[in-house]
Amino acid sequence: MRALHSPVNGRVSGAGPFLEPGQHSVSLEAPETRRWGPEPVKAKASGQGGVDPRVPPRLSLSAPGPGLRPPPRGYLRSGVAPASLPAVPLSPRPGVLSFNKSGGGGDIHQGFQSLLTEVNKTGTQYLLRTANRLFGEKSCDFLSSFRDSCQKFYQAEMEELDFISAVEKSRKHINSWVAEKTEGKIAELLSPGSVDPLTRLVLVNAVYFKGNWNEQFDKENTEERRFKVSKNEEKPVQMMFMQSTFKKTYIGEIFTQILVLPYVGKELNMIIMLPDETTDLRTVEKELTYEKFVEWTRLDMMDEEKVEVSLPRFKLEESYDMESVLCSLGMTDAFELGKADFSGMSKADLCLSKVVHKSFVEVNEEGTEAAAATAAIMMMRCARFVPRFCADHPFLFFIQHSKTNGILFCGRFSSP
């Protein structure tokens, strides 16, 4: 959620993909500079779109990426990244934080338009829905060009609300809309006090996914096991078990196994990165760039082999106030009166006051519900050694759209 306020009457929350064409910079750093880490970057609101550089272009600003320390129980984020768009760079020098409009990736708005059409298509064997909506103060005059662009490229309609005299009613209405679009999994995106009579615009993006495994885990094989949170701490977890044939590989430079669990129809996959027990997950995160992720998870470069899979049954729900994260990346102008430039939205002086993100993911025997050196096979004359993939210590997971390579959700599971 993003909210925009007018500095005359108050502040405004909102930013992200709902930006007028022409409001983006065209700066793009060399691929080797792109990382998911938290190096500081200067990002101006004036004439630029505020985006999170630690992940590929996607539908909304979201939870902190692997380069930042998450809450103790792990982190969770959601978003969608079209394969046709370049990774968003994070420059090591004072530069800009922006999408590339003139490079090989083409126009950013056209890219999102194509992606939304693809992920929202009907007739799939999974349920994946994205929904965007703008909730504007009814007395505020927003440019028709801005409204038209939001509808054309992001399928986002403008709904007028009365924030000035009915702020609580407006907040509950927005929460009800989000709850409906996420099948009730995100019931209260906006907490009491998150919007006020000074609010002029709230921009909301909701993503909901539910998919069954192509091969389901047998509930009778699920049992309580110990999950190694750290060298000195273990916690009980309900561990699912399956023996079947999956795509799998081993990345020697980070001592990490990668396993691909497809959903029904094989249009979506869960990709799990599991470091060796002697390798800290933070080591993997520090080495993880978008280019390396794409290289390491290429299905045509993986072996398909029989493997014993042990995976915790888990549910993650996280909320984030993204202002501090964005400011730490250098995107400060958007939050400051007199510096923010959202003239592509309205003639009124607006500035960004709040960016809120909330995500939900549940993984069980049936599948997933969500609101981010090759292993050798030993052959013997009388028996086959079946490799084990035992996720009984911290790991990263990604839900990926196969056709676009878009990362819909990703997160870290570090503690039951």
Its pTM stands at 0.67
| Planar angle of CA 336, 49, 128, nearest 5 degrees | 120
What domains lie within the chain, and their CATH numbers? 2-68+92-210+319-360 (3.30.497.10), 212-315+362-413 (2.30.39.10)
pLDDT tens over the chain, length 416 residues = 555 544 333 333 333 333 333 333 222 222 232 333 333 222 333 333 333 333 322 222 222 222 222 333 333 333 333 222 222 222 222 333 444 444 444 566 776 667 666 766 666 677 777 777 888 888 888 888 988 888 887 777 888 999 889 999 999 999 999 888 888 888 888 888 888 888 888 878 777 788 889 999 999 999 999 999 998 899 999 999 999 999 999 999 999 999 999 998 888 899 999 999 999 999 999 999 888 998 999 988 898 999 999 999 888 877 777 777 778 878 788 777 778 787 888 887 777 767 777 777 888 888 777 762 212 222 223 333 457 899 999 999 998 888 777 788 888 898 88
> H or E segment at 117?
helix 108-119
- pLDDT for res 261: 93
Kindly state the DSSP code that residue 86 receives in the 8-state scheme: P
- pLDDT for res 321: 73
Q: Which long-range contacts (CB under 8 A, 24 or more apart) does 296-300 make?
A: 296/249, 296/251, 296/258, 297/258, 297/260, 297/271, 297/398, 297/400, 299/247, 299/260
| Best CA proximity match to 401, nearest among 380, 374, 358, 370 | 370
- pLDDT for res 221: 93
| Best CA proximity match to 35, nearest among 54, 60, 58 | 54
Strands 156-161 and 127-137: parallel
- pLDDT for res 138: 87
- pLDDT for res 401: 81
CA distance 151 to 148: 5
Helix/strand/coil (H/E/C) assignment for every residue in 313-370: CEEEEEEEECHHHHHHCCCCHHHCCCCCCCCCCECCCCEEEEEEEEEEEEECCCEEEE
DSSP 52-74: -TTS-S-SS--S--TTS---TTE
| Best CA proximity match to 334, nearest among 43, 35, 26 | 43
Token output for 139: 């007395």
CA distance 259 to 106: 32
